[in-house]
Amino acid sequence: MSRFLAKKFEGLKPYTPGEQPQNQKLIKLNTNESPFPPSPKAVEAAITEAKKLNLYSDPACRVFLSALSEHFGVGTEQVFASNGSDEVLAFLFQALSENGAAFADQTYGFYPVYCNLYGVIPKIIPLKDDFSIDPKDYYGLKETIFIANPNAPTGLALSLSEIRGILDHNLNTLVVIDEAYVDFGAESAVPLLKEYDNLLIVGTFSKSRSMAGARLGYAVGSEELIADLNRIKFSFNPYNVNRMTLAAAAAAIRDRAYFEAARDEIIKTRTDTIDALRKRGYLCTDSKANFIFVRNPDMPGKEIYQKLRERDILVRWFDIERIRDWLRITVGTREEMDALLAALKEIGG
């Protein structure tokens, strides 16, 4: 720490991203990226756009946002683009969480970090023993509510009627649904926007769109909420999304067939991996995401993590009491999951 850092940041604990090793031989199942490349149409669009990198990107992100609003069937004033969904989440903690932020004890690790960064008081709501969210725990809150649906690292999803219950009991509280993993088997809350102006949906191109390295997130909500987000963005960085990413994303949205094939393949591989592990006595949550959350009742999570690592397979282990014996494992290709299952057998699980 330099002597120039503001006092208020002395205690700041940054988010710990999953490792990004440069070792090519590693099977990387630790950060929920897609094992598949982006749509070839997205790649082509990015390459073409690269020739215009001398020019700033469109601060209104029109080409992308018009494709996105068409995709969701909402107005172009109801969508917002950000540099990864992390950026729009940061804006929400910074500017729309004046009365605090409520979220689960086990959820996306950035929520508590943003609280810390922006001086937002967190209200931590423990998941039930089975790791599910009890919607009633979120009724009648004053804090902005952040729910990842499906949740990470559990993979468990709320139904739309459960989300509706939370919205009905918080008509004057903003409810943010983080849909980073929604495409892998949960139901999007976007249709509820017609009925609720206290709802904001956040999404990302990092997972189901195979574009983690492009850094693109979005929000969908009322025109007023989107205008608020633009107020923050234009006070911070008007060119927050680069032109190659915007062009690639518009092409990716329009390539429905590619998206659906990749998604379906991941869902199938997830189902088969969970089946195989349950047969061997592993506990697995009913994940609706592109990762599985598993525990071997006879072996500490850290030991499995380390032994997989020795075999060049990287998974995510959290040094957090409640989930210390659980592992979050990204669903990779079928070959990668076969290698995982073989390695686990060798380890004795």
Ligand X SMILES: *Cc1c(COP(=O)(O)O)cnc(C)c1O
Q: Which residues contribute to the site for ligand X (CB under 6 A)? A: 32, 84-86, 108, 148, 152, 178, 180, 204, 206, 212, 217
Under 8 Å between Cβ of 291 and 272: no
Side-chain-side CA neighbours of residue 254 (13 Å): 16
Rounded Cα distance between 229 and 325, Å, is 39
Whose Cβ is closer to ligand X: residue 182's or residue 225's? 182
Whose Cβ is closer to ligand X: residue 220's or residue 343's? 220
The 3-state secondary structure of 277-310 reads HHHCCCEECCCCCCEEEEECCCCCHHHHHHHHHH
| Shortest distance in whole angstroms from residue 215 CB to ligand X | 7
| Shortest distance in whole angstroms from residue 152 CB to ligand X | 5
What number of residues does the chain have?
Answer: 349
| Shortest distance in whole angstroms from residue 71 CB to ligand X | 17
| Shortest distance in whole angstroms from residue 151 CB to ligand X | 8
Q: Give the CB-nearest residue to ligand X.
A: 84
Rounded Cα distance between 33 and 266, Å, is 11
| Shortest distance in whole angstroms from residue 38 CB to ligand X | 14
Whose Cβ is closer to ligand X: residue 116's or residue 206's? 206
Rounded Cα distance between 184 and 191, Å, is 17
Whose Cβ is closer to ligand X: residue 212's or residue 347's? 212
Whose Cβ is closer to ligand X: residue 144's or residue 204's? 204
Phi/psi region, residue 303 (left: phi>0; alpha: psi -120 to 50; beta: rest), is alpha
Whose Cβ is closer to ligand X: residue 192's or residue 212's? 212
Rounded Cα distance between 216 and 249, Å, is 8
How many CB atoms lie under 10 A from the CB of residue 252? 28
How many CB atoms lie under 10 A from the CB of residue 62? 13
| Shortest distance in whole angstroms from residue 4 CB to ligand X | 28
